[in-house]
Amino acid sequence: MKKIDIAKNLAAIKKEIKKSQLIAVTKYSPVEDVKEAYVAKHYDFGENRVQDLKEKAEAFFNEKLDRVRWHFIGHLQTNKVRELLKIPKLFAIHSVDSLSLLEEMLKRENDFTGPELKIFFQVNTSHEIEKSGFENSDELKRAIDLLLGRGKSKFKFEGLMTMGTIRTNDFEAEATRCFRDLNAIARSLEESYHLKNSLKLSMGMSQDYKLALLAGSDYIRVGSAIFKSQNH
């Protein structure tokens, strides 16, 4: 079986996405593959589960691979917040999906030892019941008000995250609609909060990142096209 060329796959995607930021999703990859990507000078990695992230982050920490930036991208349960915030080199949480989760995170802020943690609010633009995320603008604005009203805080409101529709007869059209909707929400929030084009968009995965890029994505989350195949 031919060995996957992780460095080559990374280079190909980075060339394609230009200025957007690639988060290499390590969900199904052993830590040795993640280290191989790190050696290829890629430092942003995303994990879906707190326990898996903890194990990989500790392996990196023990080997002093300290340029790594860990992004948590999965559904976060309130009882896992403390454990997540203690993980070394945690850089961003892309999946803050409710006011109650944010409140729990703010209560636990002292558990975070890094200089800054980027916060993305997840918006359910597909309105599918199996997806997490803010469903209406009122609750989203309450969460933003709470975060921005903290004054001095290590938690920074970085932007918004979404995923395309799963159950659909027209995958491309629905993904494009979800991504454009998130872009419109972000621009509206920038105007409301006087944020001057500062909100970042986290959207697009292996199967739809090209559509997300067209809709203005700043962060794309790709795993299988890097770690599982020779082409993307």
d(CA 22, CA 103): 29
Per-residue pLDDT of the chain (232 residues; tens, 9 = 90+): 568 999 999 999 999 998 999 999 999 899 999 999 999 999 999 999 999 999 999 999 999 999 999 999 999 999 999 999 999 999 999 999 999 999 999 999 999 999 999 999 999 998 888 888 999 899 999 999 999 998 889 999 999 999 987 777 788 999 999 999 999 999 999 999 999 879 999 999 989 999 999 999 999 999 999 998 644 4
> What's the confidence (pLDDT) of residue 1?
59
Q: With the C-alpha atoms ordered 13, 15, 18, 24, is the resulting torsion angle positive or negative?
A: positive
Question: For domain 6-227, is the CATH number 3.20.20.10?
Answer: yes
Task: Give me the pLDDT at residue 151, please.
Answer: 81
User: Mapping DSSP to helix (H, G, I), strand (E, B) and coil, where does residue 220 land?
Assistant: strand
Radius of gyration of the chain (CA): 17
In this prediction, residue 166 carries a pLDDT of 75
Overall pTM surpassing 0.75 (yes/no) = yes
61 sits in which H/E element: helix 50-62
End-to-end, the C-alpha distance of the chain in Å comes to 19
* Count of alpha carbons within 13 angstroms of residue 143, beta-carbon side: 29
Pairwise CA distance, residues 122 & 24, whole Å: 19
Please give the full DSSP string across 135-193, using - where no structure is assigned: -SHHHHHHHHHHHHTTSS-SEEEEEEE----SS-S-HHHHHHHHHHHHHHHHHHHHHHH
Q: Where are the domains of the chain?
A: 6-227
CA distances from 50 to 22, 84, 110, 135, 189 (A): 20, 6, 18, 24, 30
Residue 230: what pLDDT? 47
